[in-house]
Structure 1
């Protein structure tokens, strides 16, 4: 697949990097994303320093956003009122080069190459350029965003000319945020893409130029957030340089003109420091912090920052790396994805993880459920401290969640579906606020972290109030009828079905949530009676309420169709007509951009895995036969219009016996950005999909499960793969697994070890185990066609109604 998707003459196959050997002006936005560098707080997109040809250039700070009033055509009580959009902050990485009056354009380079190195965290570029005056110029540049110095980035720009020449090197800082058009609907409109603003966003509070430094500061017009950017320069040349420059609110420039001798080398180093703060924090104070960072970075020097970066990543890769011997194409894609997770979470330091990390403005920089379901499992098993930091961000949003629950006339707390500051920012409640499952997703991540890392006190400590308040919402939202506990008017993960009754995923995850909350309450009561008494007083919690949660969990409705022998996605899903995907034109995908939601809602068609996700995350609620039936019914009618889907489908496909389909889906998910499969990589890396790559490898092909914190492994190594190596946590202990076709080797790296199951048999790991494997699970004949399977056979017209909606047209097309 990779050979078909990636031009290897341009993007070479590297084990530990992403390279480019030819400059082109096509797909600029995608390349700006895939070559971006960041650390979870600060992100620099991957356009060339000269920025002569760009599509979506920029620089982003995690959580630094502007607010704006959401204008509903027909408003109703409780609708989200205030939008939040990440800001493309002033970009200080820019450098321009002129030789004998001719400005460098990388498109004119005679040779061009760059590599993003996953082990050093540095983007390096080399190019050769012959000027109109006949001078040969060699240029080396590099940039990094430091994992050690959270607020600091470094740009190095080195030039050598083969003959005497007039060389001008210009450093720039540019405010792009106030030059973007406001978002409007029309041709090319995509609700997943962030737009500009209808007002000036950054109000200038500070402009200083002292020596070789700039210090600039702003405050956002509506959200009131403060921002300071400091830039320090160091320019070295043997020949004397004539220096000139100026700084203003939106643009700062500093130039060095050098009568360079033949063979002379010139070098510019830029150290950048970005600091932001809440409303009320003086911009001058942020600028002072930036200046301190610059002092420290400049004193340390270029080589020290490079060494620090490599050392940090050495520690990261020790557990994060997943090795695929004999699969070089996939190996590169996997490591690129895992590197993106470092760039999204490494120094988020208590902030959320946006859907695009800090690589772009897609989805307006919002935080979703993606973090808890797709990213936290990876961090839980490979970097528990980062996992805990990410979870603490969500815990800090409790007050906003309580307020949102009250707005919806519910007890307890309800986390915003999409947010930056904790308030709901989804203007479309049917596919936003109605996704109550976010509460259970958060609880699942909290419980997984605590169990896998043998940290039960986390649930009875700092996470306790959140567990209790979010569980209360389920008890209040649902109701008992006919012996069952029902959850109505909810939306599951599949946004092509909305506001339904008894969504399978929501109900099962809510059941898990209620039981985890009840267990935490019982544990606290037994282990710390004093704190339990305090919790009872502060939260109004009592035994009757906890017992009520358990009763609701036990009675939770689990939709099941006896005739079809499959769990229903929701109470009415299987009564709808099935969308005829086999005859749906490719240019009508994604459906959400071509059909009114009502057209989609009345059909059996999925944007992304829903019941299949339940079969994975709540797999212990199903028998193997039930998980297989779920996959066989829903996989054929899943469009994959969401990048969240393929890798979840891959996990379950591997488990139930469709290895070929599992590999296909895995490859699709692995290359979603490198090959721009969804045509929106320009807006930023799909961070959840990158996390899903680790999930598919470890949970899918590795066969690991951690239900309730108990580790079990039932491998599913694909045919043709010599092996698979990955790390995981066993009751807090570090373990490295090596899987081959014949055996599973487990090696204890740190900690006391513990008990786990392999292919259903118990083992005690205290050092090293080598476990022979009889097979890699069942292998069934591939599913063909786009009809759901019922009892293992394609559905018939007696069982389903098949419909193909008319192709959609706009009003303008009709006229």
Structure 2
């Protein structure tokens, strides 16, 4: 089914016409979040058609027991589930005794759904004819407040068009929910208490095993033609559900409205015995502010985000819509205000993958958050990993490593490994390198070295110890090798000497040693504390260096490229261009055995190394490797197009760069991978930002200085973006004729543009 149904628009995601086959996809695309909670765009009212119900609370999860056919020592005991939380958005509607359900309506006309990204709200409007022939006009608007992040608000309006109608709004809370994604169909929630007080209702519940305590809450008011009605609501309740009923006789063409506030208080933020009290206080705040004023606050909060984060594109609406959708979803998922949280690959839009933290955060998300927010946000993401260092050491110990070697998890909620595909979990060890690279990247961009002596060096030591122990000495090669790994290309498992893994292992060791020496020379008290804590000796460091200095990298003299892994040339090397299109995507058409034997690459692998360590290679080497590997790349990972777009732009291959940009920016909007119904690809959205700023803008940091090599696709008239570089906000505007720079604040800024120094004076446009 072609899912290219989203109406192009600069600031909104718009769907016109009701198609039941698109409901699950739209539930993902129109999702809402505010960093603390989120929800798929499920209808508030009853819907009996195919739907994927999902409301989620940041940091709340369930350890679903690992399900494998044959247990191997070292498997994690559980797979962390992103939990579908108790439903607070529900408002059943009964009209003249008939349940309102879009799936059973005789006719649905003028259906329009809009996600307004500029202002942060979701709306629906339509006309419908019910089975009892009552015709109604419906308008619904909802948002999750950024200012009061425990609260969401809904305004649901119904106007009977062809008759008077007895309409009952039935707002409810429901903790009897299930997960779309479950290994054993376990019960995830234990409902402790269902209560109500006047127009307020509360469900107190806790997760099984992890014992997160949550209070779901709601309060509603009803209006006729915007005049508040004082209706005594009837309450019905059972063990997991509580419902109010607001019934009213509505005249033809009158508008009956319910405003509902709801959300969650969680024991991550309140004492568990105070959750109802906290919910009441939150509801009072929201109700005192009121729906419209809270919505005005929402618009201002989003205006503040867009002031720094927006990227404008002139002359290409679909490209503009794509980048704003990506930036919007990233900010809905993570705002950097809570160092205990991280950026899950599906955010608040679905349950696939489980866990909240992958290497995507360090490799893709940190650059976005560093440049579009205060550097403290990126530092919080680094601190998250430092806080999990002991767990990373324990994860490594379970696999037989010792002496403080740290293996960070492939997937985690609390620092423990909770992913159970052996070839991914225990062979995709390159994620350790991404975590070390993020520390380097943070210092390179922000100039803030303090994180390393305070926290980061301990992480680097644990990672270096891991690489030292994970490498093996090959007497045949007289070099160190790393065997049995999976690189970023998950379409090759259990290979030897993946170039990217070996290269980043060598770099990690060298970077750790470099920083040990710097901390020893410049931060004596931190150095003493760290050495006492880690019991690191000069002799151990020299053993690391022996491994780094003699690391093996597979290389083809014939092709003049580093090989992705030892056996790559043994494959039947047929490029993607010669692959039957009916066989795509191969991950949905081929057996895993066939994929593993093929030459096809899921995402940048060797080229991921060239992206991270661009300065280690010449442009000629990059071109040689790009031209060799990209033709074998099927881009079936959401993380693939952005890296290739950046590299194609650097090589001046602008048509390719633009094609990859469109793919990364509209991956979910146009459902390239035929899986958007499962949720969005949140972490790869940061790669979309990178593809413009680092790709087309050519932004780099070299020798403590911002550098640019601006390029522009022929399809665009102009584009602009801002970066917060070391507390100075620089705006960059690129047209087909020139590039203009402007810096806020009071300090001058010197940058390099196409290797020429440019001096920028505050509040003066400089054209280059």
**TM-score, normalized by length of structure 1?**
0.87
4+ runs of 1 displaced by more than 6 Å? none
Residue 298 of structure 2 is aligned to residue 301 of structure 1: no
- Output aligned runs, 1:336-415, within 5 Å: 336-346=325-335, 349-350=338-339, 351-383=341-373, 384-411=375-402, 412-415=405-408
- Output aligned runs, 1:707-726, within 5 Å: 710-726=705-721
Residue 51 of structure 2 is aligned to residue 61 of structure 1: no
Distance 1:546 1:754 in 2: 40
Provide the residue aligned with 1:335 in structure 2.
Answer: 324
Q: Residue 310 of structure 1: which of 260, 281, 299 is its match?
A: 299
The answer on whether the counterparts of 2:150 and 2:265 sit within 8 Å (CA) in structure 1 is yes
The answer on whether the counterparts of 1:730 and 1:753 sit within 8 Å (CA) in structure 2 is no
Change in Cα spacing, 1:517 to 1:74, as seen in structure 2 (3 Å) is same
Q: Residue 473 of structure 1: which of 466, 472, 493 is its match?
A: 466
Change in Cα spacing, 1:565 to 1:730, as seen in structure 2 (3 Å) is same
Residue 4 of structure 2 is aligned to residue 6 of structure 1: yes
Shift, 1:470, TM fit: 1.8
Q: Residue 265 of structure 2: which of 272, 275, 280 is its match?
A: 275
Q: Residue 188 of structure 2: which of 187, 192, 201 is its match?
A: 201
Distance 1:304 1:502 in 2: 59
Provide the residue aligned with 2:249 in structure 1.
Answer: 259
Distance 1:594 1:585 in 2: 11
Shift, 1:282, TM fit: 6.5
Distance 1:28 1:255 in 2: 27
Residue 114 of structure 2 is aligned to residue 122 of structure 1: no
Provide the residue aligned with 2:153 in structure 1.
Answer: 154
The answer on whether the counterparts of 2:344 and 2:683 sit within 8 Å (CA) in structure 1 is no
Change in Cα spacing, 1:478 to 1:311, as seen in structure 2 (3 Å) is same
The answer on whether the counterparts of 1:242 and 1:258 sit within 8 Å (CA) in structure 2 is no
The answer on whether the counterparts of 2:195 and 2:242 sit within 8 Å (CA) in structure 1 is no
Stretches of structure 1 lacking an aligned partner (at least 5 in a row): 182-193, 773-815
Q: Deviations over 1:254-296 (max 9, x none)?
A: 11111224454432221112133469x9643333333322222
Change in Cα spacing, 1:123 to 1:557, as seen in structure 2 (3 Å) is same
Q: How many residues align?
A: 752
Q: Which moved more, 1:733-742 or 1:723-732?
A: 723-732
Provide the residue aligned with 1:113 in structure 2.
Answer: 112
Q: Deviations over 1:199-218 (max 9, x none)?
A: 22211112111111111122
Name the SS of the counterpart of 1:643 in structure 2: coil
Shift, 1:171, TM fit: 0.8
Residue 489 of structure 2 is aligned to residue 494 of structure 1: yes
Name the SS of the counterpart of 2:437 in structure 1: helix
Q: Deviations over 1:645-665 (max 9, x none)?
A: 122111112222322122112
Name the SS of the counterpart of 2:13 in structure 1: strand
Shift, 1:16, TM fit: 0.9
Residue 285 of structure 2 is aligned to residue 286 of structure 1: no
Shift, 1:525, TM fit: 1.9
Change in Cα spacing, 1:539 to 1:269, as seen in structure 2 (3 Å) is same
Shift, 1:133, TM fit: 6.8
The answer on whether the counterparts of 1:504 and 1:559 sit within 8 Å (CA) in structure 2 is yes
The answer on whether the counterparts of 2:453 and 2:523 sit within 8 Å (CA) in structure 1 is no
Residue 447 of structure 2 is aligned to residue 449 of structure 1: no
The answer on whether the counterparts of 1:217 and 1:283 sit within 8 Å (CA) in structure 2 is no
Distance 1:473 1:132 in 2: 66
The CA RMSD measured in Å over matched residues stands at 2.6
Shift, 1:6, TM fit: 3.0
The answer on whether the counterparts of 1:448 and 1:708 sit within 8 Å (CA) in structure 2 is no
- Output aligned runs, 1:284-683, within 5 Å: 284-346=273-335, 349-350=338-339, 351-383=341-373, 384-411=375-402, 412-479=405-472, 484-546=479-541, 548-549=543-544, 552-579=547-574, 581-582=576-577, 584-683=579-678
Change in Cα spacing, 1:420 to 1:586, as seen in structure 2 (3 Å) is farther
Shift, 1:132, TM fit: 6.6
Shift, 1:59, TM fit: 0.5
Shift, 1:458, TM fit: 1.6
Q: Deviations over 1:657-684 (max 9, x none)?
A: 3221221121122221111121111111
The answer on whether the counterparts of 2:173 and 2:216 sit within 8 Å (CA) in structure 1 is no
Q: Deviations over 1:319-377 (max 9, x none)?
A: 21111111112101111111011111126722121110011112124421111112111
The answer on whether the counterparts of 1:242 and 1:256 sit within 8 Å (CA) in structure 2 is yes
The answer on whether the counterparts of 1:41 and 1:348 sit within 8 Å (CA) in structure 2 is no
Change in Cα spacing, 1:284 to 1:579, as seen in structure 2 (3 Å) is farther
Distance 1:428 1:751 in 2: 53
Shift, 1:34, TM fit: 0.6
Change in Cα spacing, 1:386 to 1:654, as seen in structure 2 (3 Å) is same
Distance 1:546 1:766 in 2: 46
The answer on whether the counterparts of 2:453 and 2:519 sit within 8 Å (CA) in structure 1 is yes
Provide the residue aligned with 1:789 in structure 2.
Answer: none
Distance 1:91 1:746 in 2: 48
Q: Which moved more, 1:65-74 or 1:577-586?
A: 577-586
Name the SS of the counterpart of 2:20 in structure 1: coil
Name the SS of the counterpart of 1:363 in structure 2: coil
Q: Residue 87 of structure 2: which of 75, 83, 91 is its match?
A: 91
Name the SS of the counterpart of 2:60 in structure 1: strand
Q: Residue 705 of structure 1: which of 700, 712, 726 is its match?
A: 700
**TM-score, normalized by length of structure 2?**
0.92
Change in Cα spacing, 1:12 to 1:278, as seen in structure 2 (3 Å) is closer
Distance 1:697 1:360 in 2: 27
Q: Deviations over 1:85-112 (max 9, x none)?
A: 1111111111122332233334533322
Distance 2:703 2:147 in 1: 34
Residue 20 of structure 2 is aligned to residue 33 of structure 1: no
Distance 2:468 2:751 in 1: 34
Distance 2:32 2:247 in 1: 29
The answer on whether the counterparts of 2:355 and 2:418 sit within 8 Å (CA) in structure 1 is no
The answer on whether the counterparts of 1:92 and 1:272 sit within 8 Å (CA) in structure 2 is yes
Name the SS of the counterpart of 1:68 in structure 2: strand
Shift, 1:144, TM fit: 0.8
